[in-house]
Amino acid sequence: MHGRRGGSQSLWWAAGLLLLAVLGAFDVAQHYRSAHLTNALPLTLLVLRCAPLPLVWKWPRTATAAVSAAACGTGSALLVPVGPNEPWPWPVTSILVQSVALVLLGLRHPGGTPRRRRALAAAWTASQLPGAALVALLPDRGGPADLLPFAVVSAAAALVGELAGARAETARDLARERADSTAERARRVRLEERARLARELHDVVAHHLSVVVARADSAPYRVPSAADDQDVREELAAIAEEARSSLNEMRRVLRLLREDAPDTTEAARTPLPGLAQLPDLVAGVRSTGADVRLESPLPDHQQVAPTTQLAAFRIVQEALTNAIRHAPGAPVTITVTQHAARLHLRVSNARPPAGATTTATPGSGHGLRGIRERAATCGGTAEAGPTPDGGFRVSATIPTSPDRESAPQ
């Protein structure tokens, strides 16, 4: 549709220029004679008048000056009216060409209203100077009164150009506001969808985790054998604590999704996990019976930005979850090192023992994609794949300070 409209406008412009050229040829040939008689002069003059006009659309100020010089100065200086009633120093078609140039200058001039008005005033003033000079140099062809028609018509054209430029500027502002409004509506729709997803997550996940906590806490009172076994009570208490931690973290994420007022709850005041919490994470996974080893020493977490620490913790957490789900019984090794300004993570597991079975369903790939996205958010990279011995490895490299503003001072 836009291309069709542009083609239609080009046709209109071509037709208008052709009309001006034809009228200019007839005007010069019938109403003026040349001080230097030549049959090619009318054609030369109309080309000089109309040729710069299309350039006003792209170079408004420069092309307007060229139109003024070609259409007004050069032609008028060479033309002699055939009678006392013929307009001079401005032929009628020269006035039309100059007026069109002024309108286009106002329509296409870059910048705001003050700059456009100054440019139109300067162009109008400059267009009057050649006529005044010709009247002073050639008083036998005309007098000062002959300058009035062109001055009035060109002033009206400058006013039309100002109005057209103001209207075009208003249209551009409205288009920008409409685009901003559309973007704001789309953003509001996304926020509403995020809020809906947050409600769904809360209603589903929070319910089931709350049930897990309640059952784990009440099991020693409901099941006599559990109440008599100290190991069972400790295991149930650990399960309840893990579920509570998951609930707190889930609520923190839901508050971020909803983008509500600043969160002042106890869960929100809890520091985000980082490198210092990796030993606790490994200990919690070991309590399930998994063979997990965290190679030490860990990098100094005070030299690593909080955002990088959080990304590193989540990457290791997700890689551990995948390992214990898809390779039960396989030893898992975690390595976290720092070289220069980059943090290197590696979580690898060996081949699962013979006869080991897993109840995990085939993964959708969201976990590995999330690992890559977390690393990319901090300006790093991540990759995952099988190892030659039949195991699996997840590795990531993240800048220690992806954002200087967020890095500890």
pTM for the model: 0.47
- pLDDT one digit per residue (tens) for the chain, 409 residues: 444 555 565 566 666 666 666 666 666 666 666 655 555 655 566 566 666 667 666 776 776 777 666 655 555 666 666 666 777 777 777 777 778 888 878 887 776 778 888 888 888 888 788 778 878 887 777 778 888 888 898 899 889 888 888 888 888 889 999 998 988 988 888 878 877 777 777 667 766 777 777 777 777 777 777 667 787 878 888 888 878 877 777 777 777 666 554 455 544 555 678 899 999 889 888 877 788 999 978 888 888 888 899 899 989 988 988 888 888 888 999 999 999 889 999 999 998 887 655 545 555 567 788 889 889 988 999 999 999 988 999 999 999 886 543 433 3
* DSSP helix, strand, coil percent of the chain (3-state; round to 5): 65, 10, 25
Predicted pLDDT at 358: 56
Predicted pLDDT at 392: 93
Predicted pLDDT at 404: 44
Predicted pLDDT at 396: 94
Closest to 356 (Cα-Cα) out of 331, 392, 383:
331
Cβ proximity of 53 and 63 under 8 Å: yes
Cβ proximity of 384 and 394 under 8 Å: yes
Crossing angle of the two packed helices 41-50 and 92-108, in degrees rounded to 10:
20
Predicted pLDDT at 405: 38
Every domain of the chain and the residues it spans: 11-182, 274-353+365-409
Predicted pLDDT at 188: 85
| Phi, psi angles (nearest 5°) of residue 359 | -100, 5
Predicted pLDDT at 75: 53
Is 274-353+365-409 a CATH 3.30.565.10 domain?
Answer: yes
Predicted pLDDT at 328: 83
Q: CA-CA distance, 313 to 345, in Å (whole number)? A: 10
